[in-house]
Amino acid sequence: MNPNTILLVEDNPDDELLTLRAFERGGIANPIVVVRDGIEALDYLFARGAFAGRTAGAPLLVLLDLKLPRLGGLEVLRAVRADPVCGTVLVLVLTSSRDDSDIARAYELGANGYVQKPVEFDDFVRVTRAIGTYWLMTNVPPQVGP
Amino acid sequence: MSVDEPADPRATQPPIARSGEFLEAILDNLPLMVFVKEAEELRYVRLNPAGQRLTGLDRREIVGKTDFDIFPPDIAAFFREKDRRTLEEGTVVDIPEEQVQTHDGRRWLHTLKVPIPGPDGRPSYLLGISLDITETRNAQTETRRAKEAAEGSNRELEAFAYSVSHDLRAPLRSIAGFSQALLEDEDDRLSDRGKDYLARVRAAAQRMTGLIDDLLELSRVGRAELRHAHVDLGAIAREIIDELRAADPSRDVVTVVEGDLLVHGDPTLFTVMLRNLLDNAWKYSSKRSRAHIEVRGTRVADQLVLTVHDDGAGFDTALAGRLFSPFHRLHSATEFPGDGIGLATVRRVVHRHGGRVSAEGSPDGGATFTVHLPIAGSSS
């Protein structure tokens, strides 16, 4: 897989479309893979289930919603951090919630950052641009995988 | 009475006091249960009429018996333990709450147990005096339950408001995002009227975003755990005023921040309070070519009295009480935009710190908000 891939974990199709549009407007050209619940996210990251045959490697960045069907975002985060192979992958929580307990739990479980999805699209574009500038261009990512 | 004419002591005593009848009469008419047990085997020797009425026991049934002959084992064991303690310690034992089995179910008593010494100085009797506190106790329990139920439903309501506010954001993001996408992508195919409609949709989505943010803040102010710190309200007010100036540089506003503005409490909540008060002062004075906003603090006894004054649109003081209820506004949204939540949030911050807030104004004559806060801070 392309080592610059972004994994977007998002169950709301409207938010998926808006996020992709915001990335495009924000000038982020990385390939984006979208999965729609927590189980699919783990299947992708651990290259199992529907993703058993995918080429090896971890995404550069995971954008993780918290409210997800089947398995919630915080559970996904816990499972990822417990994994010896992709435990250090960069995970940014991207969610509507600004609940103090969600923020605290996310960091306790090892999120690299926490970003609230803005309602205004222009703000959303600004946020994605900031994510691109820092997490994709400035930050030196960890070596993930064997 | 003169000193050289000593009174005959018998003349001052009613005849009854000269016999044991005096004590009998007192015991019989005392509206408290009085009982006496002998100290050896703790058998009853006496129960006064108030005690008989309370328990439904006849004195003839009870004399010579122990608590275990009369009461259920749990109650008898409790009485026995207190009796022994009273006799061993040789002092009055206060039992603020104990249960007794009566003909009318169990009742609550406040009891004092007193050792009565015999000729050798060691206790030979145990005297008990009990007041029936069942009604008071039930009333207290009822009040406590009602209070807990009210607090519980308040917390539920807060949590509900919080969760709803979050869930409302997702569809709003779609409304705002896709109407903007339509304006951007289909610009050349939209009529002016179509563009105007879309602009209205976007503006409405923006207002609703503001409403949700304000509701979330109101809910958070009510739920957040209070932090305690020394807070300089003057420094916070100056920062907020700087932000307001930066966001609206065309305004000509003369501001004054002065006086004793040091207080103890939660810095985040005080920032929320001042931001809401100053936002209002800034907004409602926007039609003045040169506006004045003043923040002043004075110390009155153990309270800080904070006033935030503006010379803007004002309001009729008679209606001021409503200002602090959520969604109540005294101006139309076209005249001055707003959702009516800010002052409800202010009041909540002030109440959580054990203070109070009031408002004064006159139509077109400006407004003054006065906050009284305990300087030492208070938790709730």
> Does B177 contact A at CB distance below 8 Å?
yes
- What span, in angstroms and rounded, lies between the C-alpha atoms of B360 and B368? 5
Q: Please count the other Cβ atoms lying within 10 Å of the Cβ belonging to residue B9.
A: 7
User: In the predicted model, what is the mean pLDDT of chain B?
Assistant: 88
Residue among B294, B225, B297, B218 at smallest CA distance from B263: B297
B180 neighbors B172 (Cβ within 8 angstroms): no
pLDDT of B82 reads 95
pLDDT of B380 reads 46
Q: Is residue A49 over pLDDT 80?
A: yes
The torsion angles phi and psi of B211, rounded to 5 degrees, stand at -60, -45
pLDDT confidence bin for B193, thresholds 50/70/90 = very high
pLDDT confidence bin for B376, thresholds 50/70/90 = confident
- Chain B, 179 to 218: residues with Cβ < 8 Å from chain A are 180-181, 205-206, 209, 216
- Comparing B162 with A112, the larger pLDDT belongs to A112
Q: Please count the other Cβ atoms lying within 10 Å of the Cβ belonging to residue B237.
A: 24
Is CATH 3.40.50.2300 correct for A6-138?
Answer: yes
- What span, in angstroms and rounded, lies between the C-alpha atoms of B215 and B253? 29
- Comparing B225 with B126, the larger pLDDT belongs to B126
Structural domains in chain B, CATH included, are 9-132 (3.30.450.20), 150-223 (1.10.287), 226-380 (3.30.565.10)
pLDDT confidence bin for B15, thresholds 50/70/90 = low
B361 neighbors B314 (Cβ within 8 angstroms): yes
- Comparing B98 with B3, the larger pLDDT belongs to B98
Using CB atoms, which residue from B176, B181, B216 is nearest to A120?
B176
Minimal CA separation from A84 to chain B, in Å: 35
CA atoms within 13 A on the CB side of B338: 23
User: What percentage of chain B has pLDDT greater than the value 70?
Assistant: 94
Cross-chain Cβ contact A96/B209 below 8 Å: no
Instruction: Write out chain A residues lying below 8 Å of B220, CB-based.
Output: 100
Radius of gyration of chain A from Cα atoms? 14
pLDDT of B297 reads 94
Q: Is residue B141 over pLDDT 60?
A: yes
| Residue B113 CB contacts under 8 Å (≥ 6 apart), including other chains | B82, B83, B86, B92, B93, B95, B126, B127, B128
Using CB atoms, which residue from B176, B178, B220 is nearest to A119?
B176
pLDDT in tens, B89-119: 999 999 999 999 898 889 999 999 999 998 8
Residue indicated by tokens 């932000």:
B243
pLDDT, mean of residues B207-217: 84
Q: Is residue A11 over pLDDT 60?
A: yes
pLDDT, mean of residues B271-282: 95
pLDDT of B7 reads 52
Q: Is residue A36 over pLDDT 90?
A: yes
Using CB atoms, which residue from B166, B174, B216 is nearest to A14?
B174
Q: Is residue B16 over pLDDT 60?
A: no
- What span, in angstroms and rounded, lies between the C-alpha atoms of B316 and B361? 6
Ordered by start, the domain boundaries in chain A are: 6-138
The single-letter code of the amino acid at A103 is I
Bridge partners, residue B254, by sequence: B292
Q: Is residue A22 over pLDDT 50?
A: yes
- E-state strands within B32-104: 33-38, 44-47, 93-102
Nearest CA in chain A to B224: A100
Nearest CA in chain A to B174: A14
- What span, in angstroms and rounded, lies between the C-alpha atoms of B95 and B112? 6
Residue indicated by tokens 């602090």:
B324
- What span, in angstroms and rounded, lies between the C-alpha atoms of B257 and B238? 7
Instruction: Write out chain A residues lying below 8 Å of B209, CB-based.
Output: 119-120
Token couple for B56: 């439904």
- What span, in angstroms and rounded, lies between the C-alpha atoms of B206 and B333? 14
- What span, in angstroms and rounded, lies between the C-alpha atoms of B92 and B83? 10
ipTM over 0.85: no
Minimal CA separation from A67 to chain B, in Å: 10
Instruction: Name the least confident of A48-57, B25-34, B122-131, B305-314.
Output: A48-57
Q: Residues of chain A whose C-beta is under 8 A from some C-beta in B?
A: 12, 14-15, 18, 21, 96-100, 117-122, 124
Instruction: Determine if residue B364 is left, alpha or beta; phi over 0 gives left, psi from -120 to 50 gives alpha, anything else beta.
Output: left
Residue among A49, A53, A55, A58 at smallest CA distance from A83: A58
Q: Is residue B1 over pLDDT 60?
A: no
- What span, in angstroms and rounded, lies between the C-alpha atoms of B98 and B107? 8
Instruction: Name the least confident of A92-96, A138-142, B21-25, B181-185.
Output: B21-25
Instruction: Name the least confident of A33-47, B132-146, B334-348.
Output: B334-348
pLDDT in tens, B244-261: 999 999 999 999 999 999
Instruction: Write out chain B residues lying below 8 Å of A14, CB-based.
Output: 170-171, 173-174, 177-178
Q: Is residue B5 over pLDDT 90?
A: no
Bridge partners, residue B126, by sequence: B37, B115
pLDDT of B149 reads 84
Chain centre to alpha carbon of residue B65: 49
Q: Is residue A123 over pLDDT 80?
A: yes
